[in-house]
Amino acid sequence: MDLIRDAIRTIPDYPKPGIQFRDVTTLLSDARAFRATVDLLVQPWAGAKIDKVAGIEARGFILGGAVAHQLSVGFAPVRKRGKLPHETLIEEYELEYGSDAIEIHVDAVEAGDRVLLIDDLLATGGTAEAAIKLLQRAGAEVLGAAFVVDLPALGGAERLKTLGVPVQCLVDFDGA
């Protein structure tokens, strides 16, 4: 885990004062750390009969794509509003100031699909909760949500557990 933790760069006060931005681009550029990260994200699900991996834009695409490849399953992109070309399902969620929305294609998953959700970082859990709701509205069963980083102070893991979705995080960092 130190290999992974040490490969994540912290940018203080980005994108605004008081936020410690946990930058995984340095992890992605480190071959050993990237490989170890994907291996650890895949491990719990190797025998779980996953049908599809869903990844949240944008860093969740990189990690989720690698996890899907490793599990030999397809990949479903969860994107910011307005980016997907075909018919979509949309879910709004609250931000500190205002709201945002994410979408999936209506045919991104099939009813009954067993889906694993991937993103780089779990903060308040608002984005992941919206993604889980979208996948469930499309008829999928979300078996778990996996992240490289957890910020436990922001309560995201608890929030997802109340939805009945098991959460796996590889490392955690203090603060916001």
Segment contacting ligand AMP by CB under 6 A, of 70-78, 101-109, 116-124, 131-139: 116-124
Q: Is 119 in the site for ligand AMP (CB under 6 A)?
A: yes
Closer Cβ to ligand AMP, 126 or 152, answer by number: 126
Q: Strands 99-105, 167-172: parallel, antiparallel or unpaired by DSSP?
A: unpaired
Q: Which of residues 120-149 bind ligand AMP (CB under 6 A)?
A: 120-128
Q: Are 92 and 130 in contact (CB under 8 A)?
A: yes
Catalytic residue among 57, 91, 96, 141: 96
Minimum separation from the CB atom of position 50 to ligand AMP (A): 21
Of the candidates 26, 131, 149, which has an alpha carbon nearest to the alpha carbon of residue 78?
131
Give me the sign of the Cα torsion angle 10, 173, 42, 146. Answer: negative
The smaller minimum CB distance to ligand AMP, of residues 15 and 82, is found at: 15
Is 59 annotated as catalytic? Answer: yes
End-to-end C-alpha distance for the chain, whole angstroms: 20
